[in-house]
A and B are shown apart, each in its own frame.
Chain A
């Protein structure tokens, strides 16, 4: 879908407060992990409140939907969270790429391209290390498609491997080397391929909710610290030092 078509999408939207320009140009793409940390901390009302003030779309890919909604619905331990997510999906707080005119064929093509490079960048001896899986790659693929269409987008992702690959692949190389105690080599010419993605985590998302007074328990330094640690303990890859820095900024 082109920008012109997205314009039509916006025209049919029923939120008169949003400016046409903003609605067209903003998409926040959610990876599974970020939704999982919000779900596990009961922070969906905050997510919903954020969507209400956001002039754009919150999008999950089909792969992410399978991981956070379809599969956990069949597992008793996570079914309640999945049901809450289903509500968000039904209320169109979370939508699919097709809702913004990105079809599966287009997405699959980009996924294949990225998967080939991502999983053929780091090697142990001559064996390529498969570092990413389809859900994470689908977020990168969607982001790339939207960027090519001139649509402003950010990926909200809590797991670290995808983010480090996008922002500082040499760190991932070092991490693999250090943790696997192996002679890891990297196809460094692939590093540029991952440039251009922009990432936030559920921690930054909750920071925004906090700053905008959308957090139900109030607005105090104690609340901010508690929010950041809550998402950290449910899988958001943020360090203690980073939390301390955010607290200092307040």
Chain B
């Protein structure tokens, strides 16, 4: 785990955000984690980013009361995050990883309806995080590889969100590129 102090700080802030059910804060903490994930491709940072984003989504939608049992899942996840914080504090990175994985594994113990719902949220969170990494300048293929998803998912999502709509990506005059394409088909 890179930048241990930074992750510890994120976990502490997560504790407060979960307590206050502060969805916006959870999302922003997830984004902070993704910076180091982009550089270090460190699986724990990626997992943490996906977990925080997913918890935010679950809490947000829970307010609509659509799926029962979300509250229990969040409490369970919160306990795992507490343990993860304690293990990282004790420099036990293996235990830290195990606790993050515990959250993912606990999805399997949920009722069928809730399991499908939470899995779906986690899958979508992965795509969202992938689009963030792609936005950071990592290629589409590499991003999909890091998150373990397909390029189809990332391309679709990133395209819809306009993540590449940045002037720095304009690297050649439009006319020149069009001419290149037209000439190639002559």
Q: For the complex, is A97 an interface residue (Cβ under 8 Å from B)?
A: no
**Cα distance, A94 to B184, chains bound together (Å):** 17
Contact partner of B136 among A176, A212, A236, CB < 8 A?
A176
Task: Encode contact with A along B163-186: 1 for CB under 8 Å, 0 otherwise.
Answer: 011111111101101101110110
**Cα distance, A133 to B134, chains bound together (Å):** 12
Interface segment out of the listed B63-71, B112-120, B147-155: B147-155
Q: For the complex, is B38 an interface residue (Cβ under 8 Å from A)?
A: yes
Contact partner of B181 among A32, A133, A181, A205, CB < 8 A?
A205
A239 pairs with B166, CB closer than 8 A: yes
Given contacts A36-B151, A37-B155, A239-B167, contact A131 B137 (CB under 8 A): yes
B4 to chain A, nearest CB (A): 15
B145 pairs with A241, CB closer than 8 A: no
Closest to B164 in A: A237
Q: For the complex, is B48 an interface residue (Cβ under 8 Å from A)?
A: no
B141 pairs with A136, CB closer than 8 A: yes
A233 pairs with B159, CB closer than 8 A: yes
**Cα distance, A50 to B177, chains bound together (Å):** 17
Q: Chain A's interface: helix, strand, loop or mixed, by majority? A: helix
A208 pairs with B137, CB closer than 8 A: no
A203 to chain B, nearest CB (A): 9
Q: Chain B's interface: helix, strand, loop or mixed, by majority? A: helix
**Cα distance, A53 to B185, chains bound together (Å):** 8
Given contacts A180-B136, A235-B158, contact A168 B182 (CB under 8 A): no
Contact partner of B141 among A50, A132, A168, A174, CB < 8 A?
A132
Q: How many residues of A contact B (CB 8 A)?
A: 72
Q: For the complex, is B74 an interface residue (Cβ under 8 Å from A)?
A: no
Given contacts A50-B185, A176-B136, A207-B178, contact A72 B171 (CB under 8 A): no
A172 pairs with B137, CB closer than 8 A: yes
**Cα distance, A199 to B144, chains bound together (Å):** 22
Q: Which residues of A contact B139 (CB under 8 A)?
A: 131-133, 136, 159, 161-162
A171 pairs with B168, CB closer than 8 A: yes
**Cα distance, A131 to B156, chains bound together (Å):** 20
**Cα distance, A239 to B86, chains bound together (Å):** 46
Task: Encode contact with B along A139-181: 1 for CB under 8 Å, 0 otherwise.
Answer: 0000000000000101000111111100110011011101111
Q: Which residues of B contact A179 (CB under 8 A)?
A: 38, 135-137
Q: For the complex, is A249 an interface residue (Cβ under 8 Å from B)?
A: yes
A125 to chain B, nearest CB (A): 9
A217 to chain B, nearest CB (A): 20
Contact partner of A245 among B150, B167, B174, CB < 8 A?
B174
Given contacts A50-B185, A163-B171, A212-B185, contact A246 B164 (CB under 8 A): no
Which residues does B use to contact A, with CB under 8 Å?
Answer: 35, 38-41, 134-142, 144-145, 150-152, 154-156, 158-160, 162, 164-172, 174-175, 177-178, 180-182, 184-185
Cross-chain pairs A/B with CB under 8 angstroms, 7 sampled: A67-B151, A124-B39, A131-B142, A161-B137, A162-B139, A163-B169, A199-B172
Which residues does A use to contact B, with CB under 8 Å?
Answer: 26, 28, 32-33, 36-37, 40, 50, 53-54, 67-68, 71-72, 75, 77-78, 81, 124, 127, 129-136, 152, 154, 158-164, 167-168, 171-172, 174-176, 178-182, 198-201, 204-205, 207-208, 211-212, 232-237, 239-242, 245-246, 249
Q: A28-B184, A154-B184 are in contact. List 4 more A-B contacts (CB 8 A).
A: A164-B168, A235-B156, A235-B158, A242-B174
Q: Which 10 A-B pairs have the closest CB atoms?
A: A235-B155, A159-B140, A133-B141, A161-B139, A237-B164, A167-B171, A204-B181, A235-B159, A133-B142, A168-B171
